[in-house]
Amino acid sequence: MGHDSHGGSFCKAAALRETRAVQKSRTRQRRLPTRTRQAALAKPHLPTRTCQPGRERRESRALSSGRACVTRPMAHPDRFLLAGVMGWPVMHSRSPMLHNHWLAEHGLAGAYVPLAIEPGKVGPALRALRPLGFSGCNLTIPHKQEAMAVVDELEETARRIGAISCVTVRPDGSLLGANNDCYGFIENLLEAEPGFRFDAGPAVVMGAGGGARAVVWALAQRGAKEIRLVNRTFARAQALADEFGAPVRAVDWSQREQALEGAALLVNTTSQGMVGMDSLDLSLDRLPAHGFVADIIYTPLETPLLRDARLRGLRTLNGLGMLLHQGRPAWKAWFGIEPKVTPALRAKIEATLEPGPR
């Protein structure tokens, strides 16, 4: 009982001072011109109080710890930031950990939550974002293409890719669809291999879904001369190749290993190799020794495909960096802040992931 009762009077006094400060702040805001007041409320602020050792103030003398509290700008009580990720399944996603880390890092009151939305129900879910007070959301399997018909406007990159990974609720309530996967993929690759040459040789992309669309578009924009698109259902690969045009060429599944001959880059965009899924049925015997193997999966950190490539002495890259980097433009759109991808953030998320087979 001693600790709680000893500090009770100080806490009550501090709370009273804080209440009076808020009341004064609100009074001053009412005197501001309407536009100025609205602008002040639109921007998130830092938390109210932080403790700094060594600075003693009159009200802290009752504290035996010697830590003094310094008043900082207060997060507006009417502004609780909300965002999330829609998918099915979605509970495996590390997006909530990523975005909640950034919220804490920037001292913002808010939450980023997983939203389990069944296939075919993404329309009502997206339309509920505004009334629920969400700034926006990310989209993952299987909603990236279906959501295109729901949003009010598409950014040009998303329109060309044919899939969206991010939705922003604009001030008028309308929904803007964007694709940040292409940005995340390229940033992840260049972070690992700063001097990577996209025109060094053919690229082979496994899959023909939303992830494949983003990767193929990104590679073409970066100057890839030939992109060999391989999918179990040839018609889907061919349809994507027809839509994108040169340099994309569809390859039949039975020819998947021949497609590796002379390739400089192999990218898996399927779910094969993810935790709980079968491994990608692909031998790397025909991939050149200089080949680079990337997987957009990050659960586990090393898929069977990446393990096989590593044991052959090939350079490899998992999809965690793609997840981290694609979140940056989303934050810019939702909150007007461009957060950083740091080694500490990467290590924090890696610590929660399975390493994969050894």
Positions marked active-site = 144
Contact predicate 294/317, CB 8 Å:
yes
Contact predicate 207/270, CB 8 Å:
yes
Radius of gyration of the chain (CA): 25
Residues 6+ apart with CB under 8 A from 322: 181, 184, 185, 187, 188, 296, 298
Neighbour count for residue 59 (Cβ, 10 Å): 13
Cα gap 33→36, rounded to integer Å: 5
Neighbour count for residue 3 (Cβ, 10 Å): 8
Q: How far is CA 129 from CA 24, 45, 65, 176, 215, in A?
A: 33, 23, 45, 12, 28
Q: Which long-range contacts (C-beta less than 8 Å, at least 24 apart) are formed by 49-54? A: 49/18
In DSSP notation, 102-140 reads HHHHTT--EEEEEEE--TT-HHHHHHTTTTTT--EEEE-
Neighbour count for residue 180 (Cβ, 10 Å): 25
